[in-house]
Structure 1
Amino acid sequence: MSAGQIKNIEDLIPLGDGKKIVDYKIKHLTAPGENRGSVMLKVDFTVKSPTGNEEIHTAAKTVPPSELIQEVFNTPVTFRNEIAFYKKIVPLLQDFQRQHGIEEVIDFVPKYYGSRLNLKDDEGKVDQDAVLLLENLKVANYDTLDRTRGFDLDAAKLIITDLAQFHAVPLALKLEKPDVFEREIKPFLMLWTPKEQQRSEMSKQVSRLIDDIEELKSVKERILNAFDCNFTPRETRETFATITHNDCWVNNFLLKLENGKPVKSVMVDYQLCSYGSPARDIVFFLFSSVQDDVLRKHYDDLIKLYYQIFISTLEQLKCVTTPFTFEALKEEISNEARYSQFGHVTFMLYPIFFPQTEVQANTDCDALIFDHKIPDAHKQKFVSLVNEFIKRKWI
């Protein structure tokens, strides 16, 4: 869907009595290639009220125009699931917190305005008229950071704190109200895995990358074995199982800075949410999106911070925390690092380090994601990833 072509977009904005939309403008919100699984548009509404005009600044998420990308991301399912996350799951989790007397409920999610799957506004097929309308965080001075640089320690602490709450609140709800979790949340959680042909192509590209890095040639077979085994579905480990985001990389966190320091983070893109171990998100976030020197010096500190917030959140929600020991969490992390996240991070380095000049020059950058000269920064990050996983006996 191109800018200016969202049909009946004004119908998605809820207005109070005496208010009326008198104008709106639509522009592209993100640069080409920065949101591969959707099109993001900026929609600014002018609303007339009895006291004068006001502006409502929103971000509209629409389905990707490419049928290939829709197939890759399973858009008919994932777009529906993301709408359900904002419309149903977030209010359910916030109400659950309030029932336990918590006033500062989870707030690292953009404000939801409205959505539809199609112009019939029914529960039928997701089509090209599907729209998810959210708060435009950039107007509130939130922004993404340089995806090739990653997060510093302050940003990593902020985000790992939010992740701990994101995982703990639905886990507490599952433990207290398993029937509600099963009925109201779990139907909208689906683990996405690449198809066999995609996995085969990805493995070939990783093999070529290793051949181009002298210091990794001696462990090529070890790396490829670890990469290939990561895409085999495994039974869910129930103790920690909760909602997982599954796409916790730089571009899916918007930060607000004050005097150059991050003070607030918002997490976006919930289309790939699944049911599984929170360690998926922990490992993927840390090794795909945190600066290498920060990770080397502060990995243990960040894991301890996550655990502290995770346990305190469960305690606020009156959960028995005995099963959730720190040793059990470290075992979860090791398990997901070995069996799901090495391949996930390895693949994600391609879009993270895809040259921005090529993104801007090619509208179909997904077709080129592997077909370009690998930047040195990508190679260095991959070497660091491999070394860290070998050091920790994860591969």
Structure 2
Amino acid sequence: MRLPFVAILSDTMKLIEIRKIEEILLVDKPLLTHKVNGSVAGDDGSLLVNVELRLKNEKNFEEKFEVVAKLLAPSINGLRMESFKNELAFYTKIVPLLEGLLKTWGAEPTESFPNYYGGRLTLNPKIKETDRDAVFFLENLKTSGFQAVKPHIGFNFETTKLILRELAKFHASFLAVKLRKPESFKHEVRPYVNTVNDPEISVDDVKQIVSLMWENEGCVSLIPRVRRAMSCRRSTPREPFATIIHGDFWTSNIMVKLEGDKPEKMKIVDFQKFTYDSPAADLVYFLFTSLETPVLEDNFDELTDYYYKNLISALENFECDVATFSLGELLKEINIEAKNVQFPRIMMKLNTIFDSNHTEERKERGWFIVQEFAKRNWI
């Protein structure tokens, strides 16, 4: 009997098969058939495939169920394979650990992650490393009513507050594990975090950004500061705030569900870069890559304060001692991240946020970021 498989055409036009799909799908109904409805290349060396499953329900009727399959692109390298392995571990080991502890503590379960429906690193029982048969299945958030915002537009004020509230809970939940269950954190979480890699910045990249500054009278005098700031000076994660962070927290990795025009829920996706670092890394990167510019320009201090209050509230709900988690210390974290790490990451992201149809918006955002960082003495 031929085993079912999912086939797609990658960007290299090579046929990719997900073999023995029925052996790893975590669904409570028998699989009858499946169909691939499309695929998209991720910006992390992965392929995302929409898969329509046909299941047999309790009344023997056919029932449609849609999932997203994530797999490796054919040309992926060893580092990306390791990141894929860690992302799978996030869903199979870390999320269940976190949910179990939250339940034990009587805290509300986290709802920020898509549901997981099975996966594997390989079909070879003799190895434990990632190979071309690696795949995992997640909830199709679009069919669950979630939507993404266009990166060049960004989030409005109300949606930003929802996202910051959930981001604070995400950071706080892992801080709680670190503080209340340090051995579990050390042995069941830390082994899977990714090594932080600074962005590769070429001489041409710096020239492009400097050239952009020459086009704005208010930025010309800041060019020497921009040049200096375009090199990362990453430091060791600092206590007590260091926690598990997403590592690539921006519009494309956030989906929101609306009730009418009001944002009600959000989901975080793509955990290939999750790591142990300052929560300010996620916070600064998100604020400067993912908001409508007027929202950030008018509300930066209010939004950072809102994030902090929700972080403390979540830690208190997890019965953690918050004495050392002062607003002043968080602001120090923000300053360190903004000065030493995030500026080049944010500036390099502009070409991803704004495509060739939005060159003027890219320029205006770049000028705003440089002037804002200079005003706050971050560059």
Length-normalised TM-score, structure 1? 0.87
Output the CA distance in 2 between the equivalents of 1:265 and 1:306: 15
Matched, 1:295 2:271: no
Task: Find the counterpart in structure 1 of residue 25 from structure 2.
Answer: 13
User: Could you list the runs of 5+ residues in structure 1 that have no partner in the other structure?
Assistant: 357-373
Question: 2:83 is matched with which residue: 78, 86, 90?
Answer: 78
Question: What amino acid maps onto 2:34 in structure 1?
Answer: Y
Q: 1:288 to 1:23 in 2, by over 3 A?
A: same
Task: Note the alpha carbon deviations across 1:16-39, whole angstroms, 9 max, x for none.
Answer: 4xx421100112254x5x645321
Task: Find the counterpart in structure 2 of residue 92 from structure 1.
Answer: 97
Matched, 1:46 2:47: no
Output the CA distance in 2 between the equivalents of 1:269 and 1:122: 28
Are the counterparts in 1 of residues 238 and 277 from structure 2 also a CA contact under 8 Å?
Answer: yes
Question: What amino acid maps onto 1:118 in structure 2?
Answer: T
Task: Find the counterpart in structure 2 of residue 388 from structure 1.
Answer: 372
Output the CA distance in 1 between the equivalents of 2:208 and 2:161: 33
Are the counterparts in 2 of residues 100 and 316 from structure 1 also a CA contact under 8 Å?
Answer: no
Once the two structures are superposed, the pairs formed by residues 1-395 of structure 1 within 5 Å of their partners are 2=9, 5-16=17-28, 19-30=29-40, 35-51=43-59, 52-67=61-76, 70=77, 74-102=79-107, 104-120=108-124, 124-194=128-198, 198-228=201-231, 230=232, 232-355=233-356, 375-395=359-379
Q: 1:192 to 1:205 in 2, by over 3 A?
A: farther
| 3-state DSSP of counterpart to 1:140 | coil
Output the CA distance in 2 between the equivalents of 1:266 and 1:91: 17
Output the CA distance in 1 between the equivalents of 2:378 and 2:187: 36
Task: Find the counterpart in structure 2 of residue 369 from structure 1.
Answer: none
Using the TM superposition, give the Cα deviation of residue 53 of structure 1 relative to its aligned residue in structure 2, in angstroms: 2.2
Are the counterparts in 1 of residues 242 and 279 from structure 2 also a CA contact under 8 Å?
Answer: yes
Question: What amino acid maps onto 1:250 in structure 2?
Answer: T
Question: What amino acid maps onto 1:58 in structure 2?
Answer: V
Number of residues of Structure 1 aligned to a counterpart in Structure 2: 366
Output the CA distance in 2 between the equivalents of 1:161 and 1:123: 41
Using the TM superposition, give the Cα deviation of residue 10 of structure 1 relative to its aligned residue in structure 2, in angstroms: 2.6
Output the CA distance in 2 between the equivalents of 1:123 and 1:393: 51
Length-normalised TM-score, structure 2? 0.91
Which range moved further: 20-29 or 284-293?
A: 20-29
Task: Note the alpha carbon deviations across 1:69-122, whole angstroms, 9 max, x for none.
Answer: x46xx21211011111111111111111111112x2111100001111122267
Using the TM superposition, give the Cα deviation of residue 245 of structure 1 relative to its aligned residue in structure 2, in angstroms: 0.6
Output the CA distance in 2 between the equivalents of 1:127 and 1:215: 51
Are the counterparts in 2 of residues 315 and 321 from structure 1 also a CA contact under 8 Å?
Answer: yes
Question: What amino acid maps onto 2:123 in structure 1?
Answer: L
Task: Note the alpha carbon deviations across 1:359-380, whole angstroms, 9 max, x for none.
Answer: xxxxxxxxxxxxxxx8111111
Question: What amino acid maps onto 1:53 in structure 2?
Answer: E
Which range moved further: 211-220 or 266-275?
A: 211-220
Task: Find the counterpart in structure 1 of residue 3 from structure 2.
Answer: none
Which range moved further: 112-121 or 378-387?
A: 112-121
Task: Note the alpha carbon deviations across 1:125-178, whole angstroms, 9 max, x for none.
Answer: 222221121000100111111110000001100100011001001111101111
Output the CA distance in 2 between the equivalents of 1:301 and 1:145: 22
Output the CA distance in 2 between the equivalents of 1:227 and 1:24: 48
Question: What amino acid maps onto 1:49 in structure 2?
Answer: N
Q: 1:56 to 1:94 in 2, by over 3 A?
A: same
Output the CA distance in 1 between the equivalents of 2:335 and 2:243: 17
Q: 1:66 to 1:216 in 2, by over 3 A?
A: farther
Q: 1:132 to 1:288 in 2, by over 3 A?
A: same
Are the counterparts in 1 of residues 171 and 311 from structure 2 also a CA contact under 8 Å?
Answer: yes
Are the counterparts in 2 of residues 117 and 123 from structure 1 also a CA contact under 8 Å?
Answer: no
Q: 1:12 to 1:145 in 2, by over 3 A?
A: same
Which range moved further: 122-131 or 316-325?
A: 122-131
User: Could you list the runs of 5+ residues in structure 2 that have no partner in the other structure?
Assistant: 1-7, 11-15
Are the counterparts in 1 of residues 199 and 345 from structure 2 also a CA contact under 8 Å?
Answer: no
| 3-state DSSP of counterpart to 1:375 | helix
Task: Note the alpha carbon deviations across 1:3-25, whole angstroms, 9 max, x for none.
Answer: 77322223221244xx4211001
Output the CA distance in 2 between the equivalents of 1:334 and 1:349: 21
| 3-state DSSP of counterpart to 2:17 | coil
Task: Note the alpha carbon deviations across 1:209-232, whole angstroms, 9 max, x for none.
Answer: 33455543322121021111x2x3
Are the counterparts in 1 of residues 72 and 81 from structure 2 also a CA contact under 8 Å?
Answer: no
Output the CA distance in 2 between the equivalents of 1:292 and 1:92: 38
Task: Note the alpha carbon deviations across 1:325-370, whole angstroms, 9 max, x for none.
Answer: 11111111111111111111111111111237xxxxxxxxxxxxxx
Task: Give the root-mean-square deviation of aligned CA atoms.
Answer: 2.0
Are the counterparts in 2 of residues 213 and 379 from structure 1 also a CA contact under 8 Å?
Answer: no
